[in-house]
Amino acid sequence: MGLDDVLHALRADPARAAVFSDLDGTLSLIVDDPDTVVPVDGAPQCLTALAETIGTVAIVSGRPVAFLERFFAPPIELSGLYGLEHRTGDRLLVDSTAIEWLPVMSTVANDARVVFGTEAVEDKQYSITVHYRGADEPFVADVLAWADTVAAETGLDARSAKMSVELHPPTSRSKGDAVEDLLTGATSAVYFGDDTGDLPAFTRLAELHAAGSLDAYAVVLVRSHETDAELHEHATDVVDTPEEVLQILQSMLDAASSS
């Protein structure tokens, strides 16, 4: 399985094709200040055109929907915070567990800002990320120890990501669940991702194919020196840059438009 199979399926039945992509490190370069992340030139336009042509196009991100909305409008679907938020059309749906944990998350975010400084803390309302890219070793050790302590004391989940640690409400919901929910009858699907949080989506597409729910699928890994080896094991295709992701999306749009 891989991109060739998905392109073939896309030509044959664009209405039952789904395209999913992460944002950071996949459609955008990784930058030191996460608030300045932007998708590569042309990516939102290409995805919009694709969303108007095929069954489903969705951004599946650890970012909140409020951030993703800066770049992506309907009919692109948005799944934020690893599946805790879902924007479809003008409706935003939030997982009930995430809402229950809002007060705890707010307290923890304030604590993180006091301990590590506002620049290191990305407050996503329903979850937080503490970044340590470029920081010295003692700072990294402090962040990891702090996250473990907070997780033990509050019941929040601590999850590691690229040069950062995240605290989430204790729910098993993942990008894999988000992708499965968004498939809604699709028979082919592709997922583009670069980080550990994408792994549940990588494996879910393979499982759905093995179970007969998907005729064709591809998992495209955008690799870097920070890439977890486990991601390589589950990728069907590998690229090196967000620009290459955009080229693949363009070829999908061409394939869907020519059918």
Q: Does 195 bind Mg ion (CB under 5 A)?
A: yes
CA distance 225 to 77: 30
Q: Which among 8-16, 21-29, 82-90, 104-112 is the span making contact with Mg ion, rule CB under 5 A?
A: 21-29
Return the number of the residue (104 or 163) whose C-beta is nearest Mg ion. Answer: 163
Q: Does 215 bind Mg ion (CB under 5 A)?
A: no
CB of 89 to Mg ion, least distance (A): 25
Which tokens go with 20?
């999913």
CA distance 201 to 192: 9
Q: Which of 22, 77, 95, 177 binds Mg ion (CB under 5 A)?
A: 22
Which residue in this structure is represented by tokens 């459609």? Answer: 27
Q: Which among 22-30, 87-95, 97-105, 176-184 is the span making contact with Mg ion, rule CB under 5 A?
A: 22-30
Annotate 105-174 with DSSP letters as a single string: HHHHHHHHHHHH-GGGEEE-SSSEEEE-TT--HHHHHHHHHHHHHHHHHH-PEEEEETTEEEEE-S----
Q: Does 180 bind Mg ion (CB under 5 A)?
A: no
Contacts with Mg ion in 68-97 (CB under 5 A)? Answer: none
Return the number of the residue (180 or 194) whose C-beta is nearest Mg ion. Answer: 194
CA distance 91 to 76: 12
Q: Which of 194, 200, 231, 255 binds Mg ion (CB under 5 A)?
A: 194
Helix, strand, or coil here: 155? coil
Q: Which of 9, 10, 21, 25 binds Mg ion (CB under 5 A)?
A: 25
Contacts with Mg ion in 127-146 (CB under 5 A)? Answer: none
Helix, strand, or coil here: 29? coil
**Site residues for Mg ion per CB under 5 A:** 22, 24-25, 194-195
